[in-house]
A and B are shown apart, each in its own frame.
Chain A
């Protein structure tokens, strides 16, 4: 879709203020034109007068026209009836000769018949005149880049007079009926409310009131029309008032001229109401503000209007293809019958042009650039072979299917006209055959195609051909066979492959030297949305649901951001297909899919919140500290730092090119570093399981880098993938916990530099693994003694951290490495008080596991205190406590359970001295 930003150059008459009239008289300077615009060598003017008088005239005119039409049609019917009556009157028994009356005259019913024939002729004339009143929008001519750069001439009214009449264009006949009615309605509205002049807001109101198409646009945007109309009404109320009459001002005409320009650049035949609305919204900041309040940008409005345009265009294209496809043969023979049947080839291939003729292929949108490149290369180079190189899902197949349809419509250069596009299937070629057989098959196929002379080959995933050689590696491969035939320039080949396979298998073999590469890049977001706009019609029909524009927008933007191993537009299309099925099942037929539906489904798929923050969730986010504290005791600074970075991430205030957060937890063992990481995984990714935990003490050797990112070719473990890269690739939405980071080999830390800075890491096979959706947490026990010392001295955590960063940590990590962390969090050693609380938490967990067995469990305060005292250790934090609980509580309980001393509904009470007292429940 061409989207030329070139602005129109306007000339507004200063004498009459763009009105065309001074008082009652035509302006002498502009000759009544008021305002004109310059567009590609043409002078545009608005020739249809709009004021109360003319509006009245147009209305009466329309009425009279309709009356004339109805009368003429009635006369035509009556004429036929009178002829029937005349025939009925003939008395065939007397004399056929009586028929001569018919030509001699005097027959009244015949007189009436012939009169109606005359009115029929008039009807032909009348409707033809009506059709002539309409004019198509100018067709944009091809302009060289130099022409594009030449600035338009500066205009004045003297010059305008000299420009030939042919180049002055009245744009009003190019507006369709709907658009003209909208313009008139806009004037009526402005007039009724005594506005000084017709403004953009009046167009908008008129559009909402009378144009179904404009209503459809707002419906697709998911706007509540009542609410919107009310707000727009307020805007209209703020326009300047007039005591006198409302004028159809230069501003109003400017909008129409811009609408015409829009139609011109988009190759439309007529200007529709939607073009006026698009320009009206673009011209009024206040309306844009209202829309932004409803979460709708100008870009969104434009994209929805483009959506309607694309649908119309697709329909026209489809009609054209259908019509031209009747001319093509079903048997694969060209129209001149010079070709030969290719019975053998047909076994190993699929005729895409035939499928296109049958209407089985999807229409292709916005690939003109690629088509031009394909045609240019095939036409120009001596060897007619190209390979489309693009990631899966970027549209290679769509381009090929589009090409087949173009060939059916003869919308291709001469050398492709009346040819068949045949997709050669490599899997069929090599299935059940040895390399020698496959080679023979390929040779026969090629021979047939060359003899037939009308075959254009398409080979999908051409890299599969490489390496299949008769007689082992030294023999001649399938690729060489193809290569030789191509070298003789005997047929045309179009192939496809992915960038990785191209560089790995094709670039450096002889086939790669003669076959020309065309890069198919992933479309940018806006283009992807437009491609989707062309596609969703089929999905909507299939599932009987409707997509709002927001759904498309979200599908493209969210998949672009969160799904990195697939490509646009395919990944967005697949997501929409899933959403459509989901919507049909849950919301029922005719349901409208909104943006948040798409986001919700994606959230479910990737197990990470991406949808809009609901009230419930925002409440949860605001209480994050509280939630985390249900698992973590104290460590206020750490918890609040973590909670803050999660909130930033969820409110989209983070750098999306880096991991969600890079955190370094410092502190002695057993103070809750790992526990906090688990809590984060649960809160943010929904489950503790979404955590990739690497014990860095296992990576102390330099070689262990191979285990992390996969071994390079030739080493043990090649092809297995790295422990880190594989885990993140399979589960890109997770928490990566690097335990005891200081123990890793320093070279490994350099790897993480890149991860933290760019959010990606390349594994040994050359695959880039995306780290932008992980939370990276490293823990370290480095300088534990230092921290413990300082805490004992009563130094604040803030100061300990400062000192650590300035001096102590530098022994372990380079400054640039430390710098990459968003936050370095120092965990305090635990005091008696905290251990007491932890003891309670741990005992609560014991109670929880007993509850599953129907047994109640309690602990007296003295018992908890005793446990805490046993379990407290300055050096090891809360770890000994866990052991103590295990020994004193879990073991005893297990024994009771096994001996049957405790059963359902009993109450077990932990008392001082490690005694567990059982209160038996009443037996039934």
Chain B
């Protein structure tokens, strides 16, 4: 075992590399896809954190800046509603962009292969 030549080792490694190449398509639509979805989810969560969307939703009925009289509460509610709508909209856009990214991930290999075939 210890006297194996470098060529034998090289052969074994090349076999291994070929196996890796063959695993590529399978990986793209299984493990790779899961990774991308996970990454997108983390990104969306981070963005939500930055916006503080849920904090605003949870505090919808809490008056802003300690203005606890009726007028203050009303204004607060209106303002918070407005903020929640804008922030929600931004969040939706980000979710949409991420969805598009996932779709691109799914379609891209097929599209690339199609392009290669037509230009061949």
Contacts and interface: CB of A to CB of B under 8 A. Distances in A.
Contact of B59 (A64, A115, A128, A336): A336
Contacts of B32: 124-125, 128
Contact of A24 (B1, B14, B63): B1
Given A121-B109, A327-B50, A60 B10 contact: yes
B2 A53 contact: yes
A57 B116 CA distance: 36
A118 B116 contact: yes
B82 to A, nearest CB: 13
Interface string A98-131: 0000011111101100110110011011101100
Given A53-B2, A453-B66, A60 B13 contact: yes
A418 B52 CA distance: 12
B116 A336 contact: no
B66 A451 contact: yes
B66 A338 contact: yes
Nearest to B50: A327
Contacts of A121: 28, 108-109, 112
A337 B66 CA distance: 9
A379 B70 CA distance: 33
B9 A57 contact: yes
A52 B2 contact: yes
B6 A104 contact: no
Contacts of B50: 326-327
Nearest to A336: B59
Contacts of B49: 327
A107 B59 CA distance: 59
Contact of A339 (B28, B66, B118): B66
Contacts of B113: 118
A61 interface: yes
Residue picked from B6, B63, B116, B120, most chain A C-beta under 10 Å: B116
B81 interface: no
Interface residues of A, number: 44
Given A105-B120, A451-B66, A335 B112 contact: no
B24 A125 contact: yes
A453 B59 CA distance: 14
B64 interface: yes
B118 A56 contact: no
Contacts of A340: 65-66
Interface in A111-168: 111, 114-115, 117-118, 121-122, 124-126, 128-129
A452 B12 CA distance: 70
A335 B52 contact: yes
Contacts of B56: 336
Interface residues of B, number: 39
A68 B24 CA distance: 15
Contacts of B62: 336, 338
A245 interface: yes
Contacts of A115: 116
Contacts of A57: 9, 12-13
A333 B66 CA distance: 11
Contacts of B115: 110-111, 114
B53 to A, nearest CB: 11
A114 B50 CA distance: 38
Contacts of A644: none
B112 A117 contact: yes
A51 interface: yes
B35 A128 contact: yes
A418 B54 CA distance: 14
A337 B64 CA distance: 6
Given A61-B13, A327-B50, A451-B66, A110 B119 contact: yes
A110 B118 CA distance: 10
B111 to A, nearest CB: 9
Contacts of B108: 117, 121
A129 B20 contact: yes
A501 B24 CA distance: 71
A846 to B, nearest CB: 87
Contact of B4 (A53, A117, A327): A53
Interface string A180-197: 000000000000000000
B1 A53 contact: yes
B38 to A, nearest CB: 12
Contacts of A105: 117-120
Contacts of B1: 24, 53
Contact of A114 (B2, B13, B64, B112): B112
B43 interface: no
Contacts of A122: 21, 24
B118 A60 contact: no
A270 to B, nearest CB: 20
A64 B13 contact: yes
A331 to B, nearest CB: 11
B101 interface: no
Interface string B58-98: 11001111100000000000000000000000000000000
Nearest to A107: B119
Contacts of B99: none
Nearest to A103: B118
Interface string A233-248: 0000000000001000
Contacts of B24: 122, 125
Nearest to A126: B20
Given A57-B13, A60-B10, A115-B116, A338 B63 contact: yes
Contacts of B64: 337-338
A57 B20 CA distance: 17
B58 A336 contact: yes
B65 A114 contact: no
Contacts of B4: 53, 56
B6 A60 contact: yes
B106 interface: no
A337 B56 CA distance: 9
A111 B120 contact: yes
Contacts of B41: none
Interface in B27-49: 27-28, 32, 35, 49
Contacts of A110: 115, 119
Nearest to B27: A125
B3 to A, nearest CB: 8
Interface in A732-786: none
Nearest to A104: B118
Given A121-B108, A125-B28, A106 B119 contact: yes
Contacts of B63: 338
B100 interface: no
Contact of B6 (A56, A108, A128, A335): A56
A56 B28 CA distance: 31
Contacts of B59: 336-338
B55 A336 contact: yes
Contacts of A114: 112, 115-116, 119
Contacts of A60: 6, 9-10, 13
Interface in A309-349: 326-327, 333, 335-341
A493 B116 CA distance: 69
B26 to A, nearest CB: 10
Contacts of A118: 109, 112-113, 116
B91 to A, nearest CB: 16
19 contacts: A24-B1, A60-B6, A64-B13, A104-B118, A105-B120, A106-B119, A108-B119, A111-B115, A111-B120, A118-B112, A122-B24, A125-B28, A129-B27, A327-B50, A338-B63, A338-B65, A339-B66, A340-B66, A451-B66
Given A64-B17, A111-B115, A114-B116, 16 more contacts: A53-B4, A56-B4, A56-B9, A61-B13, A105-B117, A106-B119, A111-B120, A117-B112, A121-B28, A121-B112, A128-B35, A335-B55, A336-B55, A336-B59, A340-B66, A341-B65
Interface of B: 1-2, 4, 6, 9-10, 12-14, 17, 20-21, 24, 27-28, 32, 35, 49-50, 52, 55-56, 58-59, 62-66, 108-109, 112-113, 115-120
Query: Top 3 A-B pairs ranked by shortest CB distance?
Result: A105-B118, A111-B119, A336-B59
